[in-house]
Every structure is written in structure tokens, then in C-alpha cells.
Structure 1
Amino acid sequence: MIRKATAQDYDAVWEIFHAVIRTEDTYVFPSNTPKSDLEKLWFAPNMHTYVYEERDEIMGTFFIRPNSIGSGNHIANAGYMIHPDAQGKGIGKLLGKYSLQLAKELGFTAMQYNMVVSTNQNAIKLWKKLGFKIIGTTPKGFKHKKLGLVDTYIMYKSL
């Protein structure tokens, strides 16, 4: 079940967030990001934060927010995290589809991901399957923990 996140979900979302950033291979957040930063990074007032729950366990989370302010606030941006133990079970696809519908309902006209790490082939494959296109590349835009500097992609989908 996908539902809006509540304050009671904070610890479970932190567990996912911390597990994902620890690898330093898909998100820009340093692995030593403190739990106290989760509020501004995943639960900020301009974010619509959701969780995926199965058998009373939170296994994934995402947020939607405007990609920019003012005259650029009609394009959405989102971030997704799946608990490492739950990856490969289709949860990312569920969250992706749900977030695209939610973005439409919230009045956004498009969704844009500003930094998809080029080595994150599972995410790229999923976003392409959901209709996203790579519209730009930032050469060496990400410091991958194991691979060093790798490219990042800007991905876009009209809603």
C-alpha cells in the first residue's frame, strides 16, 4: 500500500534513507548525513512524502516537489528510495507510476530528474520504461564511491 508519510514513519524512512546513502553510489547525500537532516532532505514543507508499506513494514519511500520556484514550479521533481532488502520486487515501478499520477493530480505538467547517476542502470531502465527520456548529460557529475567520477543524466517526461 502506498500512503502519505506521517511523523510516525520518520524512523522507518530514516532506516531506508541511511541504508541507501551509505553506499554513495546513487545519491549525493554524504554517508555520514545525520538523522536530524532527514527533515529538510525528505520531509521539507515543499515536499509531498509517501511510503510503501507491506505487512506493516515500510519498504520504500518517495517525495514529489516542484523542481524549481516561481515560473519553474510547474515541473515536478522526485526522489525514490527502496530498502535494500526489498529491491528487485517491483516496488520502484509501483512508486514511479503512483508518483506520476500524483504529480498530475497536483497540477504539474512534467516530471524531471536532475541527476540520475549513469551507473544506476536499474533506475535508468525503469524511468525509460515509464516514458522518461534522457535530455542531457553532465560529464563526470557524480563522485561514485567505487568508480570515481561518472556521468549523470537529466531525465524528463511530459505529463
Structure 2
Amino acid sequence: MKIRKASITHDYESVWSIFSAVVQTGDTYAYPPETTMTEMKTYWFADAMTTFVIEEDGNILGTYIIKPNQPGLGNHIANCGYMVAPRAHGRGIGKKLCEHSIAFARESGYKGIQFNIVVSTNEVALRLWQKSGFRITGITPKGFRHKELGFVDTYVMFREL
């Protein structure tokens, strides 16, 4: 498997396939389930962020973004988002993307990584982030409208670099 910077020209449709499958579930990301392919561009390929993909034999299995969490005096902390193709779940893709993002953030001069909204019911992600050195630093009660469970808490998670 290889992780590389995504090309909007070559990888856009593959990333869209993953993005749309993930957000349509309505259980892990705040993006609207009906997000269009055009709208995804502003969420996943904006100028202020770097987008990566992980591929195997020419197939994109996952993607992540990294960007400053805040502008100006808060730009020393990174923010990331990760998505794995449903067909690739259980293969350690999320772990590989997280490890890559930590290394990339360090190389880029970030002092930490913050996740602003981790859905409390996303137990797989919570375990992975905690194993990767992130800790819960805040809770937003009922901060997410889960498609099936209704209002659930969200966490802010942080890892110092």
C-alpha cells in the first residue's frame, strides 16, 4: 500500500466514491448525507488543506485531509479527517492514514493535531485515536444528529506532537 498526495484530476472520482459512501450513513461525519460531488470539493479538496489517498494496486482504499485547525495564531495545530472505503474496513487502513498524518504534521511544523468532532458512538474510531495517542479534551453534549440514534455526544480529541 502506498500513501500519496491526492490529485484532483486523477483521484477525484475515487475519493468521491469513498466520501459519499461514508457521509450517506449519517453516523460519523457532520457533512450532509445528500452532499453532492461538486460540494465535496469544498470539503475535501479546498486550497487550505492537503489531501492524501492510500492505494493498493491502483485502487484507492482511503483518504485523509490535513489543514490548520484555525487561521492565524491557531495555525500551529493541525486538523485532520479520515475516510476508509467500506470495502476496505478491517484492514488497518485508518491506522496507516493516522500514522502518516502524524508524521506529515510533524514534518510540516505543526505542534499538535486536534479532532473537533468525533462522534461518541463511533467506537472503532475512538479506540484507534486513543491507541494513536489522542485523548478526549472536551465533550459537546448532544453535538451530533445521528441518523439512527438521534442526538449523541461528540468529543474534541487532541494529540501533542
Match in the other structure for 1:128: 130
Q: Deviations over 1:98-141 (max 9, x none)?
A: 00000011110000000000000000000000000000000000
Q: Secondary structure at the match of 1:10?
A: helix
Instruction: Output the CA distance in 1 between the equivalents of 2:41 and 2:121.
Output: 28
* Structure 2 gap ranges (5+): none
Detail structure 1 runs of 4+ shifted over 4 Å in the superposition. none
- 1:92-107 matches, cutoff 5 A: 92-107=94-109
Calculate the TM-score normalised by the size of structure 1.
0.99
Q: Deviations over 1:14-56 (max 9, x none)?
A: 0000000010000011111111012110000011100000011
* Percent pairwise identity: 53
* Alignment counterpart, residue 29 of structure 1, candidates 13, 28, 31: 31
Instruction: Output the CA distance in 2 between the equivalents of 1:120 and 1:114.
Output: 14
Q: Deviations over 1:63-114 (max 9, x none)?
A: 1000000000000000000001101110000000000000011110000000
Instruction: Output the CA distance in 2 between the equivalents of 1:59 and 1:91.
Output: 7
Instruction: Output the CA distance in 1 between the equivalents of 2:36 and 2:160.
Output: 35
* Structure 1 gap ranges (5+): none
1:5 to 2:6 alignment? yes
1:68 to 2:70 alignment? yes
Match in the other structure for 2:159: 157
> Cα RMSD over matched residues?
0.5
Instruction: Output the CA distance in 2 between the equivalents of 1:131 and 1:32.
Output: 33
Instruction: Output the CA distance in 2 between the equivalents of 1:104 and 1:27.
Output: 25
* Alignment counterpart, residue 92 of structure 2, candidates 90, 96, 108: 90
Match for 2:96: what amino acid? L
Instruction: Output the CA distance in 2 between the equivalents of 1:138 and 1:31.
Output: 21
Instruction: Output the CA distance in 1 between the equivalents of 2:56 and 2:122.
Output: 25
Q: Secondary structure at the match of 2:83?
A: strand
* Alignment counterpart, residue 57 of structure 1, candidates 56, 59, 69: 59
Q: Secondary structure at the match of 2:79?
A: strand
Instruction: Output the CA distance in 1 between the equivalents of 2:78 and 2:58.
Output: 29
Instruction: Output the CA distance in 2 between the equivalents of 1:32 and 1:155.
Output: 27
Calculate the TM-score normalised by the size of structure 2.
0.98
